[in-house]
Structure 1
Amino acid sequence: MKRGLMAAIGIAALMASVAACGSGGEGTSGADGYKGQTLTLWVMDGSTPKQWEKDVRAAFEKETGAKLKLEAQQWNGIQQKITTALSESDPPDVIEVGNTQTPAYAKTGGLADLSDLKKGLGADWTPSINKSAVYDGKQYAAPWFAVNRTVIYNKKVWADAGLKGTPNTRVGFFEALETIERKTDAEPLYLPGQNWYFFDGLLIGKGADLVKKEGGKWVSNLDDPKVGEAMKIYEKYASYSTAPKDKDEATPQQAEVFAKGKTGAFIGLGWEAATAVEANPEIKKDIGYFTIPGERAGQPEGVFLGGSNLAVAAGSEKRELAKEFLKIALSDKFEGALAEESGVIPNKESLQDRLQGNPAAVAAAPAVARGGLTPLIPEWAAVENPPNPVKSYMTAVLKGKPHAAAAKSVKGELDKRLSQKQ
């Protein structure tokens, strides 16, 4: 994911007992044991704030005696680059991997088993965030951070409609949108027909599965009535929008539409508010955020949890040193610092208080416990390549095709993609 950050420093106490079983001729743990070694870390461009990076590097080098070589990577082409690197004899030691990409890398045998690290460091990792780091019952990565969508709204439009406060139920949200439609000339909600990750959140809220096993193979489960129920909710939201039914939130950029000041709200990531402000600085004073409300008060809507994990290459000769780095980077001190500096959701609920002062992150955090992901199977990667058949299903429904017929119309393509070898 494109907005990230890294965490770092702390927890030297856990480092005293691990290196005797290390690989590649490593000595005992501690500064003397790793002195002269260099750990290579791949992170995505923009994932590590400068202060965090500086502090983590200092802590790592002080505690281990080793050096840290941090190499920022570009998102374009990263999956193939990581796949190639993991197959080579001298891979980077620690790699930031997208959470939905983790199962594919784990399946190839390219990631080291970190189950021992989970026991000592991750006993209280948030289950919904940690889920993507587990494959075939083993911990193949460590959860680093997550981000999810909120409602980003225009306070002036809401005030013009006579609305006070923000809704805490889905019905209350619909009522607010109806009020905006009735009392203002603003578009109540900007929601294009293919905002697929918002739809995935609705699926998660309904407990709907997009795939199922048949004859030992993964196939489409899009015709499940629960998927249809989630799509009906999406249709209701879309009824308050004049956005294109066959486009996603990037075509045009929904934040730039919102920036014009004639939209009551949109569903987006916190950083999209900055995009709106860049397009129209005057909009800044009118921007507010609230958690996407669910069916009942106190129960937020399901959300898709984007984010990143930190993994250790199975082919690294510095696997024990890599684990020492993870203990520092994922310590409460540096997870908290990461959350505070960048507004991402930390990997423990107990650290969410570090988000105070960041209204977008504060609005996002309550939904994390009910969050989820796309199907955590290696075969899913091919599904989201353009044109995403799930998006095609969404457009078909919004243009009047019944749920079952729309699901049937894309089943062949979805099954074909699920059968592709990764």
Structure 2
Amino acid sequence: MKMRFLAVCTALAAATALTGCSLVGGSAEGSEKVTLWLMKGSASEDFIANFTADFEKGHPGIDLEVKIQEWTGIGDKVNAVLAGKGKESADVIEVGNTQVAQYVETGGLSELTLEGLREWGSKDWLKGLSDPGSVNGAQYGVPWYAANRVVIYNKDLFANAGVKATPKNRQEWISATQKLDKGDQQGIYLAGQNWYVLAGFIWDEGGELAVETSGQWVGALDDDKALAGMDFYKQLQALGDGPKDADEETPPQADVFARGQVAQIIGPPGQAAQIEAANPALKGKLGFFPIPGKTSEKAGAVFTGGSDLIIPERTGNRARAVDLITALVSEKWQTELARSMSYVPNKTTLAHVVEGNDGAANMAPGAAQGRATPKSARWAEIEAKNPIKPYMTAVLGGQDPKEAAKVASDTISQVLSSDR
């Protein structure tokens, strides 16, 4: 999971570079310690302190130890805990929502199907968080929070172009962007290899990145529905000067937007702060709207980033671990986390709690349509090789979409279904 909106614990960065840093903890004599691993940047120090105090008050005799972990190298650390081979242990661990499948394959995860159905309101979970946490019909990851992309736009450029309302569907979006794309001004800055955005367009068309059949994963970019998603991407990308052979970080799209001649970008709302820092003149002039869908009835599908909570089988206190997750996903603490960190809560029924936060409120409609990458334990290898990026560049450069998609799909099939 790559999208993070706020950095916390900066004063502890050096301490957490190699090992987990304990923000709260240290068992009192005679008390029982419960250990929670959270990733750096997921929650503020105030949230952690307040949650810890509240949890310990509601569970006398429990000392909650919260350890902050770095994303770099976290896979090896989690696997060591799951295998019982390391010196460290944890009772509950935060993991990226798309990481759950690989930990299930490694072994050592506790199945949480019963609790999820009974206690944690699973019927209202965001699918982009809950689906990656479920493998072969069993729930291993409990949704904690979500974040996704929205359209960030320049209000002045919209007004100057006579675009009075933000678009609600693709047709309106294309029409508005055409009006905005004039002279030295770009209607939208969309890099040619922003494959997370492409994934949303593919899902909107009913296509997939890859599908599983009889235990084998097969790339699906050459399916007609997936190709329709790429066709829309090409239409939109042409209404600006984004590079065809680079992603949204090369150069950083927030920096390009900050120059003041780009009407729209697609990114996490947190990029607005980066834009304003680069160009203070834009402060108060930025707005957000959900990525439009094919119709006005619902927002477009988006890749849902975020985190799930897991319990290692080797925990010494599964009952307390369940209590801890129950507290973290409660309405009280979901509300506090969402409001303090500008996240989307884990349930569709809690979307209203971020209504006062423009960025988060505009994430919520997309989150309700959110998806995650295929639940293959080897998907990380796809992202490392990333055959989707050159496929996109090829199509934007004029190559036959079907042929380019077939090459990328074959690579996806080979990686996901070959023997290790």
TM-score, with length taken from structure 1: 0.89
Match of residue 205 from structure 1: 204
1:56 has 2:82 as partner: no
1:3 Cα deviation from its structure 2 partner? 5.3
Match of residue 113 from structure 1: 111
Tell me which amino acid in the other structure corresponds to 2:356.
G
Calculate percent identity across the aligned residue pairs.
Answer: 37
Match of residue 86 from structure 1: 82
Match of residue 75 from structure 1: 71
1:85 Cα deviation from its structure 2 partner? 2.6
Q: Secondary structure at the match of 1:51?
A: helix
User: Cα gap change, 1:327/1:212 in structure 2, threshold over 3 Å: closer, same or farther?
Assistant: closer
Unaligned 5+ segments in structure 1 are: 7-33
Tell me which amino acid in the other structure corresponds to 2:411.
E
TM-score, with length taken from structure 2: 0.89
Q: Determine if contact 1:4/1:145 at 8 Å carries over to the other structure.
A: no
> Residues of 2 paired with 1:408 and 1:353: CA distance?
42
Unaligned 5+ segments in structure 2 are: 7-28
Aligned pairs, how many? 393
1:178 Cα deviation from its structure 2 partner? 0.8
Question: Which whole-Å deviations, capped at 9, do the CAs of 1:139-175 have from their partners, x for residues lacking one?
Answer: 1021001111111000111112122121111111111
Tell me which amino acid in the other structure corresponds to 2:321.
A
Q: Secondary structure at the match of 2:36?
A: strand
The structure 2 residue matched to 1:402, chosen from 390, 396, 400, is 400
Match of residue 147 from structure 1: 147
Aligned alpha-carbon RMSD (Å):
2.0
1:35 Cα deviation from its structure 2 partner? 6.0
Tell me which amino acid in the other structure corresponds to 1:396.
A
> Residues of 1 paired with 2:114 and 2:213: CA distance?
34
Match of residue 232 from structure 1: 231
User: Cα gap change, 1:163/1:412 in structure 2, threshold over 3 Å: closer, same or farther?
Assistant: closer
Tell me which amino acid in the other structure corresponds to 1:142.
V
1:220 has 2:215 as partner: no
> Residues of 2 paired with 1:80 and 1:382: CA distance?
15
Match of residue 27 from structure 1: none
> Residues of 2 paired with 1:5 and 1:94: CA distance?
23
User: Cα gap change, 1:249/1:234 in structure 2, threshold over 3 Å: closer, same or farther?
Assistant: same
1:410 Cα deviation from its structure 2 partner? 2.7
Stretches (4+) displaced over 6 A: none
> Residues of 2 paired with 1:300 and 1:407: CA distance?
26
> Residues of 2 paired with 1:207 and 1:315: CA distance?
40
User: Cα gap change, 1:3/1:395 in structure 2, threshold over 3 Å: closer, same or farther?
Assistant: closer
1:4 Cα deviation from its structure 2 partner? 5.6
Question: Which whole-Å deviations, capped at 9, do the CAs of 1:98-133 have from their partners, x for residues lacking one?
Answer: 001111112222211112221122244324132222
Q: Secondary structure at the match of 2:402?
A: helix
1:360 has 2:359 as partner: yes
Match of residue 17 from structure 2: none
Match of residue 309 from structure 1: 308
Match of residue 95 from structure 1: 93
Q: Secondary structure at the match of 2:383?
A: coil
Tell me which amino acid in the other structure corresponds to 2:141.
A
1:412 Cα deviation from its structure 2 partner? 4.1
Match of residue 416 from structure 1: 414
Question: Which whole-Å deviations, capped at 9, do the CAs of 1:340-386 have from their partners, x for residues lacking one?
Answer: 1111110112211110221111111112222111111212221101x
> Residues of 1 paired with 2:62 and 2:5: CA distance?
22
Q: Secondary structure at the match of 1:415?
A: helix
Matches within 5 A, 1:373-384: 373-384=372-383
> Residues of 2 paired with 1:54 and 1:284: CA distance?
32
> Residues of 2 paired with 1:55 and 1:342: CA distance?
14
Question: Which whole-Å deviations, capped at 9, do the CAs of 1:294-336 have from their partners, x for residues lacking one?
Answer: 1111221111111100111111112111111111111111011
1:5 Cα deviation from its structure 2 partner? 9.2
> Residues of 1 paired with 2:151 and 2:71: CA distance?
26
> Residues of 1 paired with 2:5 and 2:107: CA distance?
26
Q: Secondary structure at the match of 1:378?
A: coil
Q: Determine if contact 2:154/2:285 at 8 Å carries over to the other structure.
A: yes
User: Cα gap change, 1:35/1:346 in structure 2, threshold over 3 Å: closer, same or farther?
Assistant: farther
> Residues of 1 paired with 2:191 and 2:3: CA distance?
22
Matches within 5 A, 1:384-395: 384-385=383-384, 387-395=385-393
Match of residue 24 from structure 2: none
